[in-house]
Amino acid sequence: MTTTAIDYQTEPPRYRHWRLAFDGDVAYLIMDVDQAGGMGDYELKLNSYDLGVDIELNDAVQRLRFEHPEVRAVVIQSGKDNVFCAGANIRMLGKSTHQQKVNFCKFTNETRLAIEDASENSKQTYICAVNGNAAGGGYELALAADYIMLVDDRRSTVALPETPLLAVLPGTGGLTRVTDKRKVRRDRADVFCSVEEGVRGAKAVEWRLVDEVVPNSKWKDTVAARAHEIAARSDRPKDAKGIKLNAIQRKIDTDRVTYSHVEVEIDRTRGLATVTVRGPSEDVPASVEAAHELGDRFWPLTVARELEDAILHLRSNEREIGVILFRTDGNAQAVLAHDKFLAKANGDWLMREIRHYLKRVLKRVDVTAKSFIALIEPGSCFAGTLAELAFAADRSLMLIGTREGDNRKAAAITLGQANFGFYPMGNGLTRLQTRFLGEPELLDTLKGKIGEAIEGEDAAELGLVTMSYEDFDWDDELRVMLEERTSFSPDAMTGMEANLRFAGPETMETKIFGRLTAWQNWIFQRPNAIGEQGALKLYGSGVSPTFVKERV
Amino acid sequence: MTTTAIDYQTEPPRYRHWRLAFDGDVAYLIMDVDQAGGMGDYELKLNSYDLGVDIELNDAVQRLRFEHPEVRAVVIQSGKDNVFCAGANIRMLGKSTHQQKVNFCKFTNETRLAIEDASENSKQTYICAVNGNAAGGGYELALAADYIMLVDDRRSTVALPETPLLAVLPGTGGLTRVTDKRKVRRDRADVFCSVEEGVRGAKAVEWRLVDEVVPNSKWKDTVAARAHEIAARSDRPKDAKGIKLNAIQRKIDTDRVTYSHVEVEIDRTRGLATVTVRGPSEDVPASVEAAHELGDRFWPLTVARELEDAILHLRSNEREIGVILFRTDGNAQAVLAHDKFLAKANGDWLMREIRHYLKRVLKRVDVTAKSFIALIEPGSCFAGTLAELAFAADRSLMLIGTREGDNRKAAAITLGQANFGFYPMGNGLTRLQTRFLGEPELLDTLKGKIGEAIEGEDAAELGLVTMSYEDFDWDDELRVMLEERTSFSPDAMTGMEANLRFAGPETMETKIFGRLTAWQNWIFQRPNAIGEQGALKLYGSGVSPTFVKERV
């Protein structure tokens, strides 16, 4: 896999692997991978994919929600004959470093969850029309859809052959979705995950692996009919007009990435990056129509896009950065005014999309393997939506009052209604609910303080920040903390954070990022998969792998 | 760590590390580790422990439930001055293989969960009286108790220093219990898990890490008072008389372990073991008193003890055995009669203990990293409690009808009330509920069939078995399946099974064995922990570890 910087931004005219087609309220998202279009030295045969293919898929899923509100059902299908998708490209996996494999799986998992989020929360429902073999990641892509159709041509199957073929797990939520979404009986799941050739026809329905099999002769018509039926059930507005997601404003320098409202400063010597998010520079729009008019220049949407790109960039391209500092800069009341605007206009499809998008961006923070520390200083605007950055952080530090020689407003956290339900985490709870799992009564107290600037020791006493320091202690305390944090084993930090961030209930989503991902990461280090005699290394070479037989 | 066979059987006269003392309805379980009593070439300083120490603890917890029903509260404390427990011995971990570390953590996790099970289900409530530093596994032991007291001597702390000191996670449920049992705020948990020196005094209470701090001068009296208060709340019978858990009947040969009602045959060439469980050889006792009289010869208790030992033996001492076949032999109605007896006498403390014990043994199967395949053949007794072995297995195969030349009863599964609530899994559901997560209505149908011998194709149709084969296909089908299963990567199987076995809700218990354990196992392979420059290798050498800085 390439080591040049990975860019998560793209747009349909640049797609090499996907096509979009529209038929009224139904969109067709057609996978037609360009064999020569991989990011590294391998061929993307049989509609297999690498990160580049998934970056386009992620972009398409995102644009369908914002640019095509008229779409009520999305059909994913293959543009190739006889193959739906062969899953993640094995040569790519074989050549990837551990970090690349893990980050690849994380991003593809997020994309699958974004598909489910669109079905559930935008009623832009995904259907997967499996026209050809769907193996591994190919079937996992289908599993992300709400409805799976399989062509009955006596040949096409769905399969999760990773375990028998490659000695790894299906890495994109497959096992969890088989047991918890499709609710396949565990012994059948065991058989299914052990047979290379997969399952087809009526048995695939009986085993709950797909929802419907359709004879070849009726395939096209039945897929279209099903898509229109499902589209008809959607509550989406009939007359909505999409907004354009223009290229984000971004300038990448050696130690800095500059967006319009987000700035990333990178200090590689210390292993630190600082992400500063700026509050709104303009008043809330006069009306919902005016907000639509602003389109991607509407502050909450701008910030969501820029923050997302910054996080993805740091994950992939700044691998030795272990700690990210969150800073904000601006007017707290202006942030709250935007939140209020979003809440009031929640019946509007675009405002709803923006909230769900912000939710997804914050979830990306939750599963990012970096330590996050929020620095709440004079002039900052940790309010409402932006206060979630402090609650998503592993720790937050607040400066008590103001700084000498600095006449900006005292450091404060300002709660808003956004903190009480806009942005549930993967565990289904808000960040404040998760934070105060042991003191749920505190949530009512905090609700009573919506709109108040909660400063210094008050914020610490209410449990909203981890520590608060006077100006004269601030620099030293911060320096010591950061030196300590960056001296710890990066792996131990990753494991610790993955456990401490998700108190309370587990969901399919937290299972995927917790149990499943952790086991996969474990296997991704084992000689039986990645050693010279391992299955991932030897796949396609004609030589069979040799396994260490010990059971761990 | 030693590579001689590990024996999980012990008894108080042989304890080297624990003492039991009794004060009416309160027992004191005193940790006083014999520095020279480790299982390998290391010294167990500062009440640190290895597997041998935990085998004794497990035995003590077990015996308190069976031999001391008069005990209503158990106080765990240290027999040493100034130290409660320094956790798992670091030299031991440094010298252990990956498999040994993983298995060690699994067993200690099971012991901590057994402590919680005693508090919850036997109202034999555990209190931890932390008289000295409790670090790492020492504090994790405390976390297993329902009530934690800490002496306030201005010195004693609770701490989870694994991450900063050793670059690994607290491996015995610490992170999960901090967030989900103690409900410590996530940012405080983050701080707590990063400070080597831990937290003491009032702050430990404020942070919810302990329930009470007590000045040194009042320590002994307060601990005793609290123990008697907690004991007074128990619903345990006043006049109960314990039964003796005698040494189990066991003969270990090269390829065979023979118990009174369990037999283990080991085929190392094929990587297989067969565990045969024999049904009751005698009628149910005439009365509950008669069952007490039988004591550990009462069939359900005998089988629980023998099966548990067999599973633990196979885990630790037959590491290259990847597949375990479950067979049963006996009379299905006799098994059901014993289940009925247990259910009817459920108000009796001993019968209740036996059911909970069987539950725990079956849970050990659920988290064992071996493939389990149940073979349901003529003459078998997969009924009620023993049918759970088939439902705990990854697959079950049933022979249709009888065998040529074999006049034993046709192969069947016979459901009993035990299958509908006696033995919840770690996820809180019964094995049938988990199995039929997608078809819950089937559970009512199945309840209607309690007591019926469900044979061959009927069992397959009802979803109770994975496959059913005629006699003439049986041997070939089985051979092919086993050849295939044992040819797969053992690691991939472990990961796959850990994901497929636990559909449905997650609990603290499943989080510990899922998310937490998997991340720990991942870290246990990383050079930052175990490499030549890793923290676990270099601990105590005076040389600081060198970490690969990449964040994964």
DSSP B240-286: ------PPPPEEEETTEEEESSEEEEEETTTTEEEEEEE--SSPPPS
Q: In a 10 Å sphere around its CB, with 0-12 CB exposed, 13-18 middle and 19+ buried, how is residue B332 labelled?
A: buried
- Of all residues in chain B, what percent are helix, strand and coil, respectively (each to 5)? 45, 20, 40
Per-position DSSP letters for B429-448, written without gaps between them = S-HHHHHTTT-TTHHHHHHT
Nearest to A366 by CA among A417, A424, A433: A424
CB contact under 8 A, B499 and A484: no
A 10 A CB-CB count for B46 gives 20
Tallying the residues shown for chain A, one arrives at 552
Residue B397: helix, strand or coil by DSSP? strand
Residue type, B476: D
Give the span between the Cα atoms of A205 and B309, in whole angstroms: 41
Per-position DSSP letters for B289-322, written without gaps between them = HHHHHHGGGSHHHHHHHHHHHHHHHHHHH-TT--
- Label residue B324 by pLDDT band (50, 70, 90): very high
Give the span between the Cα atoms of B29 and A380, in whole angstroms: 54
Question: Between residues A235 and B272, which one has the greater pLDDT?
Answer: B272
Q: What is the largest CA-CA distance in chain B?
A: 78
pLDDT digits (tens, 9 = 90+) for B6-27: 999 999 999 999 999 999 999 9
CA distance B395 to chain A (A): 5
Give the span between the Cα atoms of A504 and A261, in whole angstroms: 33
Token pair for A475: 């620099």
pLDDT digits (tens, 9 = 90+) for B54-113: 999 999 999 999 999 999 999 999 999 989 999 999 999 999 999 999 999 999 999 999
Token pair for B399: 């022979």
Residue A300: helix, strand or coil by DSSP? helix
Give the span between the Cα atoms of A83 and A89, in whole angstroms: 14
CB contact under 8 A, A489 and B528: yes
Nearest CA in chain B to A208: B438
A 10 A CB-CB count for B452 gives 13
Token pair for A550: 């010990």
Token pair for A273: 């990056």
- Asked if B132 and B196 count as a contact pair (C-beta separation under 8 A), the reply is no
Separation of CA A14 from chain center? 22
Q: Which residues of A touch B499 (CB under 8 A)?
A: 169, 175-176, 179, 515-516, 519
Place of tokens 């007490």: B292
Nearest CA in chain B to A485: B194
CA distances to A212, B217, B235, B433 from A82, rounded to whole Å, are 18, 80, 67, 38
- Nearest-CB residue to A193 (from B434, B496, B510): B496
pLDDT over 80 (residue B294): yes
pLDDT digits (tens, 9 = 90+) for B114-138: 999 999 999 999 999 999 999 999 9
Residue type, A90: I
Give the span between the Cα atoms of A39 and A41, in whole angstroms: 7
* pLDDT value of residue A3: 54
Task: Report yes or no: A445 at the B interface, CB cutoff 8 Å.
Answer: no
* pLDDT value of residue B3: 54
**What count of CB pairs under 8 Å joins A to B?**
290
ipTM for the whole complex: 0.95
* pLDDT value of residue B237: 87
- Label residue B1 by pLDDT band (50, 70, 90): very low
**Angle between helix B349-366 and helix B98-121 axes, rounded to 10 deg:** 150
- Asked if B431 and B391 count as a contact pair (C-beta separation under 8 A), the reply is yes
Residue A18: helix, strand or coil by DSSP? strand
- Asked if B69 and B349 count as a contact pair (C-beta separation under 8 A), the reply is yes
Give the span between the Cα atoms of A358 and A363, in whole angstroms: 9
CB contact under 8 A, B551 and A489: no
CA distance B394 to chain A (A): 5
Q: Which residues of B touch A498 (CB under 8 A)?
A: 515, 519
Could you tell me which residues come within 8 angstroms of residue B271 by beta carbon, excluding any fewer than 6 positions away?
A: A549, B320, B321, B322, B323, B486
pLDDT over 50 (residue B515): yes
- Asked if B55 and B108 count as a contact pair (C-beta separation under 8 A), the reply is no
Token pair for B431: 């094995």
Q: Which residues of B touch A188 (CB under 8 A)?
A: 466
Token pair for B539: 């601990």
pLDDT digits (tens, 9 = 90+) for A281-310: 999 999 999 999 999 999 999 999 999 999
Residues 451-510 of chain B with CB under 8 A from chain A are 463, 465-466, 484-485, 488-506, 510
Give the span between the Cα atoms of B275 and B480, in whole angstroms: 20
- pTM above threshold 0.90: yes
Separation of CA A293 from chain center? 27
* B314, B487, B496: best to mutate for the A interface, most A CBs within 10 A: B496
Nearest CA in chain A to B179: A503
DSSP bridge partners of A456: none
pLDDT over 50 (residue A1): no
Residue B257: helix, strand or coil by DSSP? strand
CA distance A130 to chain B (A): 22
Question: What phi and psi values does residue B180 have, to the nearest 5 degrees?
Answer: -105, -25
CB contact under 8 A, B437 and A180: yes
H helix or E strand, kind and range, residue A93: helix A90-95
Task: Report yes or no: B63 at the A interface, CB cutoff 8 Å.
Answer: no
Give the span between the Cα atoms of B34 and B2, in whole angstroms: 17
Tell me A515's DSSP state: I
- Nearest-CB residue to B551 (from A175, A463, A494): A494
Residues 166-225 of chain A with CB under 8 A from chain B are 166-169, 175-176, 178-180, 182-191, 193-194, 208
- Label residue A4 by pLDDT band (50, 70, 90): confident
* pLDDT value of residue B171: 85
Q: What percent of chain B has pLDDT over 90?
A: 97
CB contact under 8 A, B484 and A190: no
Q: What percent of chain B has pLDDT over 70?
A: 99
